[in-house]
Every structure is written in C-alpha cells, then in structure tokens.
A and B are shown apart, each in its own frame.
Chain A
C-alpha cells in the first residue's frame, strides 16, 4: 500500500500542489485525472523522485521511503513515461536488463531469463534483439513496462499511458494494465482521459488547478 501525505510543491511562488493526500491499496489501480495544469504530472514526478517536493511524507506498506533516495528500500517505484524514454542505443533486451544487472547486481543469465519471461508475457517474445526505432508506439510502451517491472517495483506508475498511442490501442493498454493487476501489481495512473480511467481504475482521484478551487 502506497501512502502519500500532505504533499506540497510550488514553482517560483506558484503553488501547484497544496497538501495532496492519496492512498493506493495493494493490487489496486488508482487513476489521477484532471485537466492539464492541474498538477497531475508534478504529483507523479514528486512520487517518482524526479522532482523534490517542498514537503510531504511517502510510505509503502507502512514503511516510509524517500522517492529520491538510492537505498535498497527506496527502490519501490517503477515508471512508464508518456513518451516511453527507451534507450535508443540499447536493444530491447539490453533496455530491460541494464538496470537489474548494474543496479541490483543480478547476474546476466538470471536477468536475461527474467526479461524473456516479461517479454513473452507482454507479447513481445520475438522482439528482444530489435532496437527501439524498429518498434511501434504500442510495442515501445510494452518494452517500457517490462523495463520498469524488471526492477521489481512495489508500485508501477504511468504518465498519460494513452496519449502517445493510436486511439484503437487504448483497449490494449487497458488490458495490459488489468493483466498486471491480476498478477497483483499495484498501479498508479495519471491521465486526462476520464473514460480510460473509468475502464481500469478501482479509485479515481480528481485534481483541479489550485486557482480554480477557490
């Protein structure tokens, strides 16, 4: 269970997040929806450690962690970016095994076996030797998911998972996300797409730009 308490963040005097609280239960999917400018992405960037919050507490399963930390028990969050951010100079297999071998010091055979399992599960079994430029958008996204899962996160976060894809792939993404839920993965999704959120979410958190709340 991920808990975020009293998260605050301002940029240059403009308050973006003013004491946000959220909870994602184990194995559940929380969608954060709202118009652009509402601070959804900032919220996600704080949780994933890409932005340092002005204040806020983070805990997973009751144990607090530092999203920007590098200790083993800080490594709990996986991220799937809107534009995937695969490493173009590495093959699909290397994209997935790089962090497990270099950060978790897994040996290469074990990391490769695990990556193969993930690729098979995501329907990319024959793509391991390709490079990102040879993949379609949907395939890139699944590689990004596999890359995040290979680090064994306790929770997987998505930034706008439907926005860089063809509309007809929305269903596929939803199926992948629901499939991971079946495997017990806890997931947090930021999206502006309310229909999509209603399809996959157990809980929906609506955020509004702060200057419109008053």
Chain B
C-alpha cells in the first residue's frame, strides 16, 4: 500500500465524496421541512389528507430506496416526467427520507403535552405562532436522537445512487478497485465514510447540547 498509489487515487475519491456530501446536504434541506409538514398532516383531523399521507409513508417505507431510485429515474419518463440523474436522486432521497422523518416528528408532536396548545390558545396565539415558538422547539428536542440515526444512515444510503449511474464515493472506490485489482481504494472509502459519520456525530452532539437548556 504505497503512499504514491494513495495519492494517485485520492482525488477521484474526494470527487466522489463531494457528490455524496451534496446529496446528503440537499436531502436534509428538503426532507426535514417536508417531514414536519407531512407529520402535521398525519396528525390532522382532515381524514382524506391523513389517509393519503399514510399511503405515501407506507409506500416510501415499504419499498427499497434502491427501487424508488430506479422508478424515479427510469420509470417516471414513461409518464412524461424526466429528471436529470442528479435531480432524480434528490427527488427519490427527499421523498424517502421525508417519510421516515414524518413518522419521527409525528411521535414527537404526540409526546408534547396537549396542554401547551391550550395555554397558547388562552393567550390568543395563532396556530402557527404556537407551533413555531412553543411546540416545534419542544418536538425538536425530543426527536434529535432519532433524527440523528437517520442522518447517519443517509451518509451511507447515498451510495445507492450508483444504480442510476452517478459517481459517488463508493462508486469511485469500486472503479479504482476493479481497475487496479486492489482493495486499497475500498479501504480508503471505508475510512472516509467513518470520518464523515464521525463529523455528523459530533455536530449532532452539539445540537443536542444546544437544546439541553430546558427540560
């Protein structure tokens, strides 16, 4: 395992890691707010909306993400919806992760004392003011550990994008391993994933600390 060889393949691995990080970042940006909205729908009293969202969550959690990626990229064009590879990956990831986040947030919303809504109501705060200032901060505190699990899964799940021909970190390692007949690139890939997850873990711990100011 020469340093020279490592230096040669690292740029391509970093390039792959760049795509992995992009998918990771934009998936979170899209799926966290969407997950909150879906969870509000799941707990709403509008039954048709609730049923529709329950079916959505069932579909997203009930089929492999790999299959969803294939359907979004190769299947949707049949009905006239065409995405670029990268956009298809984001659509599939955001829809899939929003479903998991929605279930986590639903649990969070249900564990906030309903009395908080009553206290806000007698102070004449609107529903959205109540959510934003009172309920969501409490929900976030409750759900951070579960969200953290999914966030770490996402770092690794992003490797599924190889199936629609995107060059992420794992694929870059695979290419080098096949070409050079050595496991060294994949070892490095493993190491890079570990570092990424390590950073995520530290960030999540900081977030948890930020919410430790109340009980």
- Verify if A89 is at the interface (C-beta below 8 Å from B): yes
Asked, given contacts A85-B116, A88-B214, A131-B214, whether A98 binds B133 with beta carbons under 8 Å apart, the answer is yes
The reply to whether B122 and A50 contact each other, CB–CB distance below 8 Å, is: yes
Chain A 70-89 residues near chain B, CB threshold 8 A: 70, 75, 77-79, 81, 83, 85-89
State the CA gap A106–B95 with chains docked (Å): 41
CB distance from B31 to the nearest CB of A (A): 24
- Verify if B121 is at the interface (C-beta below 8 Å from A): yes
- Annotate B73-115 by CB proximity to A: 1 below 8 A, 0 otherwise: 0000000000000000000000000000000000000000101
Chain A 91-135 residues near chain B, CB threshold 8 A: 98-99, 102-103, 131-133
CB distance from A209 to the nearest CB of B (A): 24
CB distance from A130 to the nearest CB of B (A): 10
Chain B 188-215 residues near chain A, CB threshold 8 A: 213-215
Chain B 124-138 residues near chain A, CB threshold 8 A: 124-125, 129, 133-134, 137-138
State the CA gap A75–B125 with chains docked (Å): 11
Q: Residue on B with the closest CB to A78?
A: B122
Chief secondary structure at chain A's binding surface: loop
- Verify if A179 is at the interface (C-beta below 8 Å from B): no
- Annotate B140-157 by CB proximity to A: 1 below 8 A, 0 otherwise: 010000000000000000
The reply to whether B124 and A88 contact each other, CB–CB distance below 8 Å, is: no
The reply to whether A85 and B119 contact each other, CB–CB distance below 8 Å, is: yes
Q: Residue on B with the closest CB to A103?
A: B124
The reply to whether B125 and A85 contact each other, CB–CB distance below 8 Å, is: no
Asked, given contacts A89-B134, A90-B134, A98-B133, whether A50 binds B125 with beta carbons under 8 Å apart, the answer is no
The reply to whether A89 and B137 contact each other, CB–CB distance below 8 Å, is: yes
Q: Which residues of B contact A151 (CB under 8 A)?
A: 123-124
The reply to whether A133 and B214 contact each other, CB–CB distance below 8 Å, is: yes
Chain A 26-59 residues near chain B, CB threshold 8 A: 48-50
- Verify if A147 is at the interface (C-beta below 8 Å from B): yes
State the CA gap A147–B124 with chains docked (Å): 12
The reply to whether B122 and A77 contact each other, CB–CB distance below 8 Å, is: yes
Q: Which residues of A contact B113 (CB under 8 A)?
A: 85
Q: Residue on A with the closest CB to B133?
A: A98
State the CA gap A99–B134 with chains docked (Å): 11
Q: Residue on B with the closest CB to A71?
A: B124
Asked, given contacts A85-B115, A98-B133, whether A79 binds B214 with beta carbons under 8 Å apart, the answer is no
Q: Which residues of A contact B137 (CB under 8 A)?
A: 89
State the CA gap A190–B94 with chains docked (Å): 51
Q: Residue on B with the closest CB to A131?
A: B214
State the CA gap A98–B129 with chains docked (Å): 10
Q: Residue on A with the closest CB to B118?
A: A50
Q: Residue on B with the closest CB to A68?
A: B121
Q: Which residues of A contact B119 (CB under 8 A)?
A: 79, 81, 85-87
Residue from the list A50, A83, A99 in contact with B124, Cβ < 8 A: A99
State the CA gap A89–B120 with chains docked (Å): 13
State the CA gap A192–B138 with chains docked (Å): 33
Q: Which residues of B contact A103 (CB under 8 A)?
A: 123-125, 129
16 contacts between A and B (CB under 8 A): A48-B122, A50-B121, A78-B122, A81-B118, A85-B113, A85-B115, A87-B133, A88-B214, A89-B137, A89-B138, A98-B134, A99-B123, A102-B125, A131-B213, A133-B215, A148-B122
Residues of A within 8 A of B (CB): 48-50, 70, 75, 77-79, 81, 83, 85-90, 98-99, 102-103, 131-133, 147-148, 151
Residues of B within 8 A of A (CB): 113, 115-116, 118-125, 129, 133-134, 137-138, 141, 213-215
| Given A81-B118, A98-B123, 12 additional A-B pairs, CB 8 A | A49-B121, A70-B124, A78-B122, A81-B115, A85-B113, A85-B118, A87-B116, A87-B119, A99-B124, A102-B125, A103-B125, A103-B129
